[in-house]
Structure 1
Amino acid sequence: MNSFGILNSVQHYVGKIRTMRNEVRTQRFMNSLPADIRKDIGWPDMYQGRGRIREV
């Protein structure tokens, strides 16, 4: 494997980490909004099929 392949792999990994952090940050922000606003934009329903589902 040449140095470009390694660099490409590292960039891919960093990109995945950045994407996951952005998703977590967005979820925290959306969950901090008042319940009526979340309901108006459909936040709880939007991500039910994605990833882990937390039951309350």
Structure 2
Amino acid sequence: MNIYKQVLQDDHQQHPTLRAMLELTDSDGNYARSHQFYNVLTRQQQALVAEDFTLLQSQQLRA
């Protein structure tokens, strides 16, 4: 996760990095962790991963 944070420091709009970080928060199926990560993103960052987050939410809620 630290490597991803370092990449984001250089460019806050890195969609692939944000998506990978979101996927890492789901690695243990913890709904709260994914939600917490998404909520600390800026609105611009949330917009970049909104579709990915919605899909992740529905997968987590089905499990």
Structure number with bigger Rg: 1
Fold agreement, TM-score > 0.5: no
Structure of greater relative contact order (alpha carbons < 8 Å, 6+ residues apart): 2
> TM-score if structure 1 supplies the norm length?
0.35
